[in-house]
């Protein structure tokens, strides 16, 4: 990370911190959901963007995380913050175990297997032998946490800061993971798994672990989402959620960390805009938005921003070179 990127991140973080004091509680709540979705999308992006495995069932891990948090809080009186690592760990284990057999499946077949997981999750949650814990179709109502240490914040603002802190931590962890050896191994498997194996990468292990880590992220997001919404029910986690996640990473930008945030903004706000445009066919309007985004920004929002920055940079350099400063100009798009 160079100096400039660091400054940009710092400024954005400051803006994010100021946000709850600039907007209403309702908007703060919406932005909390954006942060939650950003974590979930980052999880899916690690799997799909960096490792090339398509999952149509990440809504299921989100549900497992949400239910783990809700059950721990509701039945066992565990404080909300302590439920996050447990939710993450449960999802890590489930994701890893699901990843083991799923490894034998490539591309479309893996997508189908995960699709089955996503489709069956609401029914599993309604299963009556689990009802003691899950509350069946009625779901579980949980209490909103109050700000600790007598901080002068309302519960919505506190939850926003709490989620923001978790998100920053999760993003830093992901950044560390992805730029190192493990990250390079993931990308190598995505780009050419035979070559990766020839170079000594244990592809089976890396793929399973990636699945686990990805589920871990999504599970933590699910737990945070449950705390923000204060309610979990099987109907909250239908297959549509998984598909919306996939839409989010495609719109935000595959294999990019900031892309998760753009994608989260999209999946949180665009359906509401679509609903305001047309009550009769909100999802048709949503579809038009989606096609528009993909058409205008084929590399996702993150890709588009990078290209824009690169173009601006080039222009600035061109201007300087015409002013007499001799500098090599970059023309090939591969370099940006």
Partner 1 sequence: MKLSLLPVATLLAAALAAPSALAQKKYDPGASDKEIKIGNINPYSGPASAYGTIGKVIGAYFKKINDEGGINGRKINFISVDDGYSPPKTVEMARKLVEQDEVLVLFQPLGTPPNSAIHKYMNAKKVPQLFVATGATKWNDPMNFPWTMGWQPNYQTEGMIYAQHILKTRPNAKIGILYQNDDYGKDYVKGFKDGLGAKASMIVKEVSYEVADPTVDSQIVQLQSAGADTLFNVTTPKFAAQAIRKAYDIGWNPLHYLNQVSASVGSVLTPAGLDKSVGLISTQYFKDPTDKAWANDAAMKEWTAFMKKYYPEGNLTDAFNVYGYMVSQTLVQVLKQAGDNLTRENVMKQAASLKNFELPMFLPGIRINTSATDFAPIEQEQLIRFDGKEWVRFGEILGK
What does the binding site for partner 1 look like in residue numbers (CB under 8 A)?
24-27, 29-30, 33, 123, 126-128, 136-139, 141, 225, 229-236, 238, 240, 275, 279-280, 282-283
- Which of 191, 155, 169 is CA-nearest to residue 35? 169
Residue 29 beta carbon to partner 1: minimum distance, rounded to whole angstroms: 6
What are the φ/ψ torsions at residue 25 (nearest 5 degrees)? -60, -35
Q: How far apart are CA 201 and CA 195, in angstroms?
A: 9
11 or 137: CB nearest partner 1: 137
* Tally of CB atoms within 10 A around 202: 12
11 or 116: CB nearest partner 1: 116
Residue 221 beta carbon to partner 1: minimum distance, rounded to whole angstroms: 12
Task: Report residue 95 as tokens.
Answer: 């994701």
165 or 284: CB nearest partner 1: 284
Q: How far apart are CA 254 and CA 62, in angstroms?
A: 20
51 or 242: CB nearest partner 1: 242
Q: If DSSP states are collapsed to H, E and C, what string results for 74-143?
A: HHHCCCHHHHHHHHHHHHHHHHHHHHHHHCCCCHHHHHHHHHHHHHHHHHHHHCHHHHHHHCHHHCEECC
Task: Report residue 52 as tokens.
Answer: 């090339």
Task: Report residue 273 as tokens.
Answer: 């805009």
Residue 19 beta carbon to partner 1: minimum distance, rounded to whole angstroms: 16
- Which of 219, 221, 217, 189 is CA-nearest to residue 103? 189
Residue 168 beta carbon to partner 1: minimum distance, rounded to whole angstroms: 23
Residue 231 beta carbon to partner 1: minimum distance, rounded to whole angstroms: 4
106 or 235: CB nearest partner 1: 235
| Residues 118/60, Cβ–Cβ less than 8 Å | yes
58 or 126: CB nearest partner 1: 126
Residue 173 beta carbon to partner 1: minimum distance, rounded to whole angstroms: 26
Residue 236 beta carbon to partner 1: minimum distance, rounded to whole angstroms: 5
33 or 46: CB nearest partner 1: 33
| Residues 160/31, Cβ–Cβ less than 8 Å | yes
Looking at the DSSP bridge assignments, the partners of residue 140 are: 232
């Amino acid at each position: 990370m160079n100096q400039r990127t660091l400054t940009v991140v710092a400024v954005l973080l400051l803006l994010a911190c100021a946000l709850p004091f600039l907007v209403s509680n309702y908007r703060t709540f919406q932005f909390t959901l954006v942060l939650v979705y950003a974590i979930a999308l980052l999880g899916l992006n690690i799997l799909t963007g960096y490792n090339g495995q398509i999952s149509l069932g990440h809504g299921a891990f989100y549900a497992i995380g949400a239910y783990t948090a809700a059950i721990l809080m509701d039945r066992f009186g565990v404080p909300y913050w302590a439920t996050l690592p447990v939710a993450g760990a449960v999802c890590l284990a489930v994701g890893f175990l699901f990843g083991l057999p799923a490894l034998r499946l490539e591309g479309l077949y893996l997508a189908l297997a995960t699709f089955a997981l996503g489709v069956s999750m609401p029914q599993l949650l309604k299963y009556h032998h689990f009802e003691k814990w899950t509350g069946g179709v009625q779901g579980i109502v949980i209490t909103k946490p109050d700000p600790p240490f007598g901080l002068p914040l309302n519960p919505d603002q506190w939850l926003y800061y709490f989620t923001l802190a978790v998100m920053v931590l999760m993003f830093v962890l992901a950044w560390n993971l992805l730029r190192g050896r493990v990250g390079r191994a993931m990308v190598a498997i995505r780009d050419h798994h035979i070559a990766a194996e020839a170079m000594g990468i244990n592809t089976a292990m890396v793929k399973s672990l990636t699945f686990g880590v990805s589920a871990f992220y999504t599970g933590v997001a699910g737990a945070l989402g449950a705390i923000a919404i204060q309610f979990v029910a099987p109907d909250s986690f239908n297959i549509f959620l998984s598909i919306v996640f996939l839409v989010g990473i495609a719109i935000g930008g595959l294999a990019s960390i900031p892309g998760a945030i753009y994608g989260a903004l999209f999946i949180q706000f665009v359906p509401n805009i679509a609903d305001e445009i047309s009550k009769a066919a909100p999802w048709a309007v949503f579809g038009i938005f989606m096609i528009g985004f993909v058409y205008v920004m084929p590399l996702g929002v993150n890709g588009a921003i990078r290209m824009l920055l690169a173009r601006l940079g080039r222009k600035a350099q061109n201007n300087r070179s015409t002013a007499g400063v001799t500098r090599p100009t970059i023309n090939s798009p591969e370099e940006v």
